[in-house]
Structure 1
């Protein structure tokens, strides 16, 4: 790429990418765990799991929100030579990089059910809900300011959408890319090179 031709990924999509891969395996692990007669019993396990679900959801939603907000406030307008990464590509990159970690988390969640039935799976599902909520919060910010937030792909790959590698966000108009505010797929939308004012 030439000078200034940065590849950008939607911030909300980067945040949202792990959610589905934590939610469904988490619910499956919780379902399997509910069938395991652990030493604490199913009632205690499910009660503890519900508590962990809520704690994980609120914790994941709250973590680094201040940094996300600061990066959003300091975002600069995208140049004319940027490349906007498709939503499916951003999600695929995350899944390829983390699939074994998700499998390990699933196995640990199922295994933990022999001590505390269903709790580990509900913890995973709670983390997924927190990620969806954070993506929705970012979407609310985008709609309020009538822009979309983007992050350089190499920075997001190394440390996530708000990691220490991220020096700042980039803004485009609300019509850019192929995802709606909050990172959900926009029906019929197409990606492409961003233009100032889009």
Structure 2
């Protein structure tokens, strides 16, 4: 990157990157998990899983909001030499860096089905849902502030892929039309760069 420019990844895209794999892993684990009767029985397992889904989704959605807000408030304008990372590159990097965590979470959810059917899978699905809700909240903040939030890729790597981790000192901001992802980290509906 020339003249001191930094590689920047969209904050909302990083948050949203784990939502789909966790959701689908959870749905798969819950579907397979209702097959064994387990120790508690299917009915109790599904009811416990539903409670875990709701609690996990709510906890993940609100966790760290104060830190995100502080970083967003102090966001400096991105420089002209900063390089904005594509959405697909950010998602691929996050998923590649967390693939073992995702596989271990799926294995744990499947294994827990022999004790409490479907509960582990529903917890995973709740985690994915919570990440999607957090990304949507970030999208609303971006629209309200008329600015997209970005994090330096090197800081993101040092914080274990967490866009509000301790290694992240500040965010950068661009206009709402920058990059190839809409506010909240989703693909642009038109499929074109704006």
Matched, 1:184 2:149: no
Please state how far the C-alpha of 1:145 moved relative to its aligned partner. Answer: 1.0
Aligned pair count? 191
> How far, CA to CA, are the matches of 1:91 and 1:189 in structure 2?
18
Q: Which runs of 5+ in 2 are unaligned?
A: none
> How far, CA to CA, are the matches of 1:188 and 1:95 in structure 2?
22
- Aligned partner of 2:19 in structure 1 is 19
Does the 8 Å CA contact 1:22/1:125 hold for their aligned counterparts? yes
Please state how far the C-alpha of 1:10 moved relative to its aligned partner. Answer: 0.3
Please state how far the C-alpha of 1:46 moved relative to its aligned partner. Answer: 0.5
Please state how far the C-alpha of 1:95 moved relative to its aligned partner. Answer: 1.0
Residues 117-132 of structure 1 mapped to structure 2, 5 A cutoff: 117-132=117-132
Q: TM-score, normalised by structure 1?
A: 0.94
> How far, CA to CA, are the matches of 2:3 and 2:48 in structure 1?
53
Over the aligned positions, Cα root-mean-square deviation in angstroms equals: 1.1
> How far, CA to CA, are the matches of 1:185 and 1:155 in structure 2?
24
- Aligned partner of 1:196 in structure 2 is none
Q: Which runs of 5+ in 1 are unaligned?
A: 192-198
Structure 1: 4+ residue segments shifted above 2 A? 1-4, 187-191
Does the 8 Å CA contact 1:8/1:150 hold for their aligned counterparts? yes
Matched, 1:88 2:95: no
Matched, 1:135 2:135: yes
> How far, CA to CA, are the matches of 1:98 and 1:70 in structure 2?
26
Does the 8 Å CA contact 1:4/1:79 hold for their aligned counterparts? no
> How far, CA to CA, are the matches of 1:20 and 1:72 in structure 2?
25
> How far, CA to CA, are the matches of 2:147 and 2:87 in structure 1?
17
Q: TM-score, normalised by structure 2?
A: 0.96
> How far, CA to CA, are the matches of 2:64 and 2:82 in structure 1?
27
